[in-house]
Amino acid sequence: MEKSVALVIGASRGLGFFLSIELAKSDYHVICVARTVGGLEALDDEIKEVGGTATLAPLDITDKKAIENLCHNIFLRWKKIDVLILSAIYAAPLTPVEHIDQKDLQKSIETNLTSTQVIISMTQPLLKFAKKGLAVFFSDHHYKQKFFGAYDATKNAQISLALNWKKENSNNSIEVLVLEPEAMATASRARFHPGEEKDLLKSPEKEAQRLFQIINQASVS
């Protein structure tokens, strides 16, 4: 029986890392995308340990041509994507709006917004080829907090794109989920909350296990 195929973007650490493992445990072939080769190799080892299979795709998601080539190769090899998970994000430094560095703002736009539209555009045909394509995005409780201007504006825009895509696909085979993870002990959160007690936060592994139950239910319902 042919395996289901999952594409996880932002797979080298945090939530994406552990969701990739959960998918592999459930017999998905996982295509793991991230810039960090070392993180991807560590993930591949973990997936092999649970008896799963993975394809590693080290690339920068702001490189449109790289995303095009990836999706073309997925079509040639598997013809479809059953589950898309987008967990990659750029968290710009905290600063008042008037002091936002233009390079950080541009990187936030390119990573959090522009690349999301490119990924949606390139993966939609592959999701439609699946029996039931599922795309998963993650919202964030940092909306409208002070000093989060660059992150807030671009993350909010990303989720707006996802929700519009959901409405536009309400009558076909693609389902779009927007989930809100609980606060986790991740590198991104540490940048936002230096000195925070990690013991008070959920581990990305445990949160991935919780969210995967929702994702798995949506993929089979």
Q: What pLDDT does residue 185 have?
A: 64
Domain boundaries, the chain: 4-220
Radius of gyration of the chain from Cα atoms?
A: 17
Taking the C-alpha atoms of residue 180 and residue 156, their distance in angstroms, rounded to an integer, is: 13
Here the tokens at position 147 are 């000093």
Q: CATH fold of 4-220, please?
A: Rossmann fold (3.40.50)
Contact 187, 10 (CB under 8 A): no
- pTM for the full predicted model: 0.94
Across the chain, where does the E strand assignment appear? 4-9, 28-34, 53-58, 83-86, 133-138, 174-179
Of 21-30, 50-59, 113-122, 186-195, least confident by mean pLDDT is 186-195
Coil, strand or helix: which one is 184? strand
Q: What pLDDT does residue 195 have?
A: 67
